[in-house]
């Protein structure tokens, strides 16, 4: 069953249950409320009657007749009795029924139950009448059937409201679930497109709240996946090219030496070239293996707490000879000591890859800075070279992507993998003064 129908049924069922519970509660309490209301009305009418004849003695026939006339106008069943003499003064009810009531019910009780005569029940209200001659009580009765008719009328109206409410609930829940489920349905289609790798057919979904956040996450995931697939394709193409070139060189010299084409100094030069190409192949293969291990093996990365000042002293010790050979000045011009957690040797390799890259592309100077901002620690490496080509910036950290004078095209990819494995991020940009700036950012723990 579709989610839309499930939500509609769930909302409607919940509302029906609530309305049924409310209806049962109202139905069970309605009769009692009507009885209490009728008793209050009887008391009001009784007070009017009592006030009218309060100064009269009900044992007097004339006064009793006047009372009956007033009660007839109110359409009430009444009788009056004298508490002192325990006698009925007058009544509009037959004597047999009246005597059974007098014997069965307590006239002095504050709260009177429903009085019953045969199959018919009556709502009762008893009012005391105090005169100058005796203590008397006036009993007013009205049939319960009248209240039953009122209750049935109210129940009919409640049922009508109940069914109208159900209809409105179904329509409203259908509208709300449609509004809620439609973006989810479109999001499912988007995921199907990602599954079929149709990234160029992705469309924006109009939604709000958490669904919009999920949609944005899906788009980011699709872009990242597309980028990863493209980089993987490019990786295999570049890897085959990078491996094929030295292998062909080695093969050419080996066959030439074997066939006697290269002899003497030429053979020695060919052997030297073969050795250099084998070293280059070994370096490429080792870096590819390291990247694969960083992506898949958890135990290859051994984290420990490192003091940045001591760590950067080691970076400078290794970078100065490279800078001197290139005729470039390297300096640590801003250093705030912090403690970070990472694999010392691998992070040293990552930073040296970036520093060596900066030295190779700089004209005169490379600067290394360490500072804290918004509870994050930054390691910044800046050179004064020509900067990075704009089209290269977006794929600079991909494998086998290299600029001018690049070596294997794996150094920056390894640096990114190590930094991200340490919970940090790495970015590259061109600064305003010219040259490139690499920024490693770590969350301070």
- pLDDT category of residue 132 using cuts at 50, 70 and 90: very low
> Which residues in the chain are classed under CATH 3.30.450.20?
3-151
Residue 402 to residue 414: CA distance in whole angstroms: 13
Q: Name the CATH architecture for the domain at 3-151.
A: 2-Layer Sandwich (3.30)
- What would the two tokens of residue 424 be? 């940090």
Query: Is domain 304-443 annotated with CATH 3.30.565.10?
Result: yes
**According to the model, what pLDDT value does residue 64 have?**
65
Residue 78 to residue 68: CA distance in whole angstroms: 8
* Percent of the chain residues past pLDDT 70, beyond the cut: 83
**According to the model, what pLDDT value does residue 441 have?**
92
In sequence order, which residues have a C-beta less than 8 Å from that of residue 105 and are 6 or more positions away? 112, 113, 115, 124
Go through 129-140 and write b for each residue having 16 or more CB atoms within 10 A of its CB, e for each that does not: beeeebebbbbb
The residue that leads in pLDDT, 38 or 298, is: 38
Q: What is the mean pLDDT of residues 188-204?
A: 79
**According to the model, what pLDDT value does residue 440 have?**
92
- What would the two tokens of residue 71 be? 């009660």
Evaluate if residue 208 carries a pLDDT over 80: no
> Which residues in the chain are classed under CATH 3.30.565.10?
304-443
Q: What is the mean pLDDT of residues 107-131?
A: 77
Give phi and psi for 165, each to the nearest 5. -60, -40
Per-residue pLDDT tens digits for 77-104: 777 777 777 777 777 787 878 878 877 8
Indicate the burial class of 282 (C-beta count within 10 angstroms; 0-12, 13-18, 19 or more). Answer: exposed
Average pLDDT, the chain: 78
Among the CATH numbers 1.10.287.130, 3.30.470.10, 3.40.50.300, 2.130.10.10, which is that of 209-296? 1.10.287.130
Evaluate if residue 105 carries a pLDDT over 70: yes
Evaluate if residue 54 carries a pLDDT over 60: no
Q: What is the mean pLDDT of residues 366-370?
A: 90
Sign (positive or negative) of CA dihedral 289, 291, 297, 299: positive
Contact between 85 and 143 under an 8 Å Cβ cutoff? The reply is: no
Evaluate if residue 198 carries a pLDDT over 70: yes
> Which residues in the chain are classed under CATH 1.10.287.130?
209-296
């Amino acid at each position: 069953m579709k989610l839309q129908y499930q939500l509609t049924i769930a909302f409607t069922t919940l509302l029906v249950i609530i309305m049924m519970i409310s209806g049962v509660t109202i139905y069970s309490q309605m009769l009692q409320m009507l009885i209490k209301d009728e008793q209050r009305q009887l008391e009001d009418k009784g007070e009017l009657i009592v006030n009218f004849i309060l100064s009269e003695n009900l044992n007097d026939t004339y006064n009793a007749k006047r009372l009956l006339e007033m009660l007839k106008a109110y359409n009430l069943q009444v009788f009056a009795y004298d508490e002192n003499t325990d006698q009925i003064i007058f009544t509009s009810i037959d004597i047999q029924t009246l005597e059974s009531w007098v014997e069965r019910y307590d006239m002095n009780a504050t709260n009177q139950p429903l009085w019953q005569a045969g199959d018919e029940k009556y709502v009762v209200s008893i009012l005391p009448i105090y005169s100058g001659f005796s203590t008397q009580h006036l009993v007013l009765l009205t049939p319960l059937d009248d209240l039953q008719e009122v209750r049935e009328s109210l129940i009919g109206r409640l049922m009508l409201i109940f069914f109208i409410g159900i209809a409105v609930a179904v329509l409203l829940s259908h509208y709300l679930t449609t509004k809620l489920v439609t973006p989810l349905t479109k999001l499912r289609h988007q995921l199907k497109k990602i599954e079929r790798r149709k990234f160029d057919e992705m469309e924006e979904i109009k939604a709000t709240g958490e669904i919009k956040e999920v949609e944005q996450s899906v788009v980011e995931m699709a872009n990242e996946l597309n980028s990863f697939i493209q980089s993987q394709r490019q990786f295999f193409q570049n890897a085959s090219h990078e491996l094929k070139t030295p292998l062909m060189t080695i093969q050419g010299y080996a066959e030439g030496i074997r066939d006697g084409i290269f002899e003497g100094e030429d053979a020695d030069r060919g052997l030297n070239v073969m050795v250099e190409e084998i070293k280059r192949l070994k370096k490429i293969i080792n870096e590819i293996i390291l990247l694969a291990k960083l992506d898949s093996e958890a135990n290859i990365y051994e984290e420990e707490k490192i003091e940045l000042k001591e760590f950067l002293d080691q970076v400078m010790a290794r970078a100065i000879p490279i800078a001197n050979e290139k005729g470039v000045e390297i300096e640590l011009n801003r250093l705030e000591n912090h403690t970070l957690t990472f694999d010392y040797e691998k992070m040293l390799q990552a930073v040296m890859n970036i520093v060596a890259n900066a030295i190779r592309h700089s004209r005169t100077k490379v600067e290394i800075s360490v500072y804290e901002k918004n509870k994050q620690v930054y390691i910044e490496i800046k050179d004064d070279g020509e900067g990075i080509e704009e089209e290269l910036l977006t794929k600079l950290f991909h494998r086998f992507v290299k600029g001018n004078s690049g070596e294997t095209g794996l150094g920056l990819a390894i640096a990114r993998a190590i930094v991200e494995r340490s919970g940090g991020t790495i970015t590259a940009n061109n600064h305003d003064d010219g040259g490139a700036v690499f920024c490693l950012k770590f969350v301070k723990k």
